[in-house]
Amino acid sequence: MLLERPTFPPVEFLRAYVLYFFPPPCPSPPQSSLDARKRRGLIAGAAFGYSQAIIFWVFALLFYVGAVLVDDGTVEYKNFFTAMFAVIFGAFGVGQISSDAKDAGEGEQAAAKIFRLTDEPLNIDPLSEEGARPVTTNGAVEFKNIFFAYPSRPNMQIYGSDKYPQGFCLNVAAGETVALVGPSGGGKSTCMGLLLRFYEASKGSVTIDGRDIKEVNVKWLRTQIGYVGQEPVLFQGTIRENIAKGEPGASDERIQEAAKAANAHDFIMDFQEGYEADVGEKSALLSGGQKQELGTHDELLALKGLYATLWNQQTSKLTGE
């Protein structure tokens, strides 16, 4: 079991602390900026009024010409209004198309990005059927001389910098509990990401019971490891459904047992629907601490069948009860 413990309070707390004791000055905007805004407002208002005036003047001209033609008997009343409204609605349609052209262009660019991502070959395919699926696993984990930098920051080495030329090394025996403590950006979460094969190390190897995890089926590997992150993700649905993600088909007794173990049974029962309460879209109906407790339930349910559990600052949003 790997535990990560932060060495600093949450960023939100630090920001609130600094703003409370050292409020930033609120300088008044310069007069030149106000004058420029007024000038832009006047120009925009004049342009809008001019455009509306043109439209109504065109309508007035159409009605005048139509009235003259109808009075002379050149055009019938019905035909005149049919033609006029056809022109008006056609003009509105053209204007709507031109206003949507920008959105269509942005949609095309977004679609191109999506297709480009889907067409890229996956270095780590989570749906692949390749790789070994060991029948028995003890859970001994070893990181051997790991060198790694995130693809978005290739020049910033997380593991294997000049300060640590041998790379990152860690040996966790089966059944052992290890806590990783260090400053932000020190590689605590990266260690867990490499074990779960979210990323690949540029050098070195990660082994489980002496076998390189690259030889193991990715899907099987991730089903054997429980992970609770800093920001647990809950699915839209009931509290019961979210807890049961860790053990599909779990009984009510098992679900309540996990909730009590995570000290969440009481706040769940405070909801009128209890375990059938909906967490809302993006779990908006729950607080940060409640989401973190519910994210822990999945792992508590599946804990018996896992050979490793990873806890990434799992209590950062919980109160000290």
- In CATH, what number is assigned to the domain containing residue 299? 3.40.50.300
pLDDT class for 313, splitting at 50, 70, 90?
Answer: low
CA angle 236, 238, 242 (to 5 degrees): 75
Q: Which of 221, 244, 263 is the last residue of a domain?
A: 221
Tell me, yes or no, whether 216 and 237 share the same domain: no
Residue 1 within a domain: no
Residue 34 within a domain: no
Give the residue among 100, 130, 301, 132 at the shortest CA–CA distance from 216: 132
Residue 2 within a domain: no
User: What confidence score (pLDDT) does residue 296 get?
Assistant: 58
Contacts of 134 (CB under 8 A, 6+ apart): 209, 211, 216
Least confident of 121-135, 222-236, 243-257, 295-309: 295-309
Tell me, yes or no, whether 212 and 261 share the same domain: no
Tell me, yes or no, whether 209 and 246 share the same domain: no
| Domain residue limits at 64 | 49-87
User: What confidence score (pLDDT) does residue 311 get?
Assistant: 60
User: What confidence score (pLDDT) does residue 7 get?
Assistant: 47
Q: Which of 180, 197, 221 is the last residue of a domain?
A: 221
What's the token pair of residue 182?
């260090």
CA torsion 249-253-258-263 (nearest 10°) is: 150
pLDDT class for 302, splitting at 50, 70, 90?
Answer: very low
Residue range 122-127: mean pLDDT, rounded: 83
Contact 307, 1 (CB under 8 A): no
Residue 233 within a domain: yes
Number of domains forming the structure of the chain: 3
Residue range 184-191: mean pLDDT, rounded: 83
Residue 20 within a domain: no
User: What confidence score (pLDDT) does residue 206 get?
Assistant: 92
Cα separations in angstroms, 236 against 231, 233, 243, 277, 297: 15, 10, 12, 11, 16
Q: Indicate if the pLDDT at residue 229 is higher than 80.
A: no
Q: What is the DSSP string of 154-165?
A: TTS-SBS-TT-T
Residue 207 within a domain: yes
Tell me, yes or no, whether 305 and 247 share the same domain: yes
pLDDT class for 29, splitting at 50, 70, 90?
Answer: low
Tell me, yes or no, whether 240 and 303 share the same domain: yes
Give the residue among 263, 260, 264, 296 at the shortest CA–CA distance from 277: 264
Q: Indicate if the pLDDT at residue 25 is higher than 70.
A: no
What's the token pair of residue 168?
């990152």
Tell me, yes or no, whether 243 and 193 share the same domain: no
Tell me, yes or no, whether 217 and 233 share the same domain: no
Contact 248, 217 (CB under 8 A): no
Residue 291 within a domain: yes
Residue 236 within a domain: yes
